Amino acid sequence: MSRYPLFGAALLLSLTGAANASSFVVTTDAVVRAVAASTDATSDLSSSLRDDKIVQAARDDAASFVGSEGAIRGAKLESAFAHIRQQAPALQADDAQLAQAILAI
């Protein structure tokens, strides 16, 4: 058996492995950058809301909302929901998630 086909097959396999590895690295880098950008945006939003007087005033209403599973909706909480959605229009969170976030900050 000739060495050339065997050498060619080995070369082809090594190039394929390198292509897959570089593809994996590029994909991983893209995912890490996307997660980092999302985390930075969330961190910036939560730190700005932490000091927000409208959001802080809604903490008691948020506790009532969460405790009653959405049955009790105070005026301060409704105002905070509107304020948060105005500050972050791209935020995709329902009222229950926002109320829990208000309690968490």
For 43-73, what is each residue's pLDDT tens digit? 555 556 777 899 899 999 999 999 999 999 9
Are 46 and 105 a contacting pair, CB within 8 Å?
yes
User: Considering all CA atoms of the chain, what is the largest pairwise distance in Å, rounded to the nearest integer?
Assistant: 85
Structure tokens of 55?
Answer: 């959001």
Distance in angstroms (rounded) separating the CA atoms of residues 55 and 21? 47
Which of the residue ranges 1-15, 28-42, 71-85 would you say has the lowest mean pLDDT?
A: 28-42
> Is the pLDDT score of 19 beyond 90?
no
Q: Does residue 66 contact residue 96 with C-beta atoms inside 8 Å?
A: yes
Tell me what the pLDDT averaged over the chain comes to: 75
Q: What percent of the chain has pLDDT over 90?
A: 31
